[in-house]
Amino acid sequence: MRLKDIAEKAGVSISTVSKFLSGKCSVSPSTQERIRQAMASLGYEKQQTWRKNKGLKVVGVIIPDIENPFFSSLVKSLEFLLFRYGYFLLLCNTENNPDLEESFIRYLSQNKARGIILVPSTSEKKPRMLDFPIPLLLLDRNIEGVMLPTVSTNHYQGGKIATSYLIRKGRRRIAFLGGRKGVNVYQERFQGYREGLEENGLEVDANLVIEGDFSFQGGYQAVEVLLEKKEPFDAIFAANDLVALGAIERLKEEGIRVPQDVAVIGFDDIWLSRLSHPRLTTVRQPVYELCKEAVTMLFDLINKGVRPSSKILEPQLVIRESC
Which pLDDT tens digit goes with each residue over 230-267? 999 999 999 999 999 999 999 999 999 999 999 999 99
Per-residue confidence at 33, pLDDT binned at 50, 70, 90? confident
- How confident is the model at residue 214, as a pLDDT? 87
- Asked whether the predicted pLDDT for residue 176 surpasses 80, the reply is yes
- How confident is the model at residue 22, as a pLDDT? 64
Q: At what angle do helices 14-22 and 29-41 cross, to 10 degrees?
A: 100
Is residue 113 in some structural domain? no
Name residues whose C-beta falls within 8 Å of residue 49's C-beta, 6 or more positions apart in sequence. 21, 56
- How confident is the model at residue 51, as a pLDDT? 47
Is residue 1 in some structural domain? yes
Per-residue confidence at 34, pLDDT binned at 50, 70, 90? confident
The mean pLDDT value of the chain amounts to: 89
Q: Tell me the residue range of the domain where 19 lies.
A: 1-55
- Asked whether the predicted pLDDT for residue 129 surpasses 60, the reply is no
Is residue 240 in some structural domain? yes
Is residue 72 in some structural domain? no
For the chain, what percentages of helix, strand and coil (3-state, to nearest 5) are there? 45, 15, 40
Cα angle 270, 244, 164; round to 5? 95
Tell me the CATH number at 21.
Answer: 1.10.260.40
Q: Are 248 and 264 in contact (CB under 8 A)?
A: yes
Is residue 140 in some structural domain? no
Query: What's the maximum distance between 2 C-alpha atoms anywhere in the chain?
Result: 73
Q: Are 167 and 174 in contact (CB under 8 A)?
A: yes
Q: Are 218 and 266 in contact (CB under 8 A)?
A: no
- How confident is the model at residue 48, as a pLDDT? 47
What percentage of the chain exceeds 70 in pLDDT?
91
Tell me the CATH number at 278.
Answer: 3.40.50.2300
Is residue 230 in some structural domain? yes
User: Looking at 39, 55, 71, which one is the last position of a domain?
Assistant: 55
CA distances from 5 to 10, 35, 44, 47, 48 (A): 9, 11, 10, 18, 16
Tens of pLDDT, residue by residue over 260-301, are: 999 999 999 999 999 999 999 999 999 999 999 999 999 998
- How confident is the model at residue 219, as a pLDDT? 96
CA distances from 296 to 67, 85, 240 (A): 26, 11, 27
Least confident of 108-112, 293-297, 314-318: 108-112
More confident residue, 304 or 207: 207
Is residue 97 in some structural domain? no
Per-residue confidence at 128, pLDDT binned at 50, 70, 90? low
DSSP-H helix ranges across the chain: 3-10, 14-22, 29-41, 46-52, 69-84, 98-110, 155-168, 184-199, 216-229, 241-253, 287-299
How many domains, in total, are found in the chain? 2
Is residue 18 in some structural domain? yes
Q: Residue 27's CB: how many other CB atoms inside 10 A?
A: 19
Per-residue confidence at 46, pLDDT binned at 50, 70, 90? very low
Nearest to 139 by CA among 266, 287, 268: 287
- How confident is the model at residue 178, as a pLDDT? 85
Cα angle 158, 274, 285; round to 5? 25
- Asked whether the predicted pLDDT for residue 56 surpasses 90, the reply is no
Q: Are 36 and 59 in contact (CB under 8 A)?
A: no
User: Looking at 55, 74, 91, which one is the last position of a domain?
Assistant: 55
Give the H or E element holding residue 270: none
- How confident is the model at residue 153, as a pLDDT? 97
Least confident of 38-42, 217-221, 263-267: 38-42
- How confident is the model at residue 312, as a pLDDT? 97
Q: Strands 281-284 and 316-318: what pairing?
A: antiparallel
- How confident is the model at residue 127, as a pLDDT? 53
- Asked whether the predicted pLDDT for residue 142 surpasses 60, the reply is yes
Tens of pLDDT, residue by residue over 192-205, are: 999 999 999 999 99
- Asked whether the predicted pLDDT for residue 40 surpasses 90, the reply is no
164 and 275 part of one domain: yes
Per-residue confidence at 147, pLDDT binned at 50, 70, 90? confident
Residue 65: half-sphere exposure toward Cβ, Cα within 13 Å: 12
Distance from chain centroid for Cα 185 = 11
DSSP string, 120-137: -S--S--GGGS--SS-EE
User: Looking at 55, 83, 99, which one is the last position of a domain?
Assistant: 55
Q: Once rounded to an integer, what is the mean pLDDT over residues 301-312?
A: 86
Q: What does the DSSP 8-state code read for residue 307?
A: -
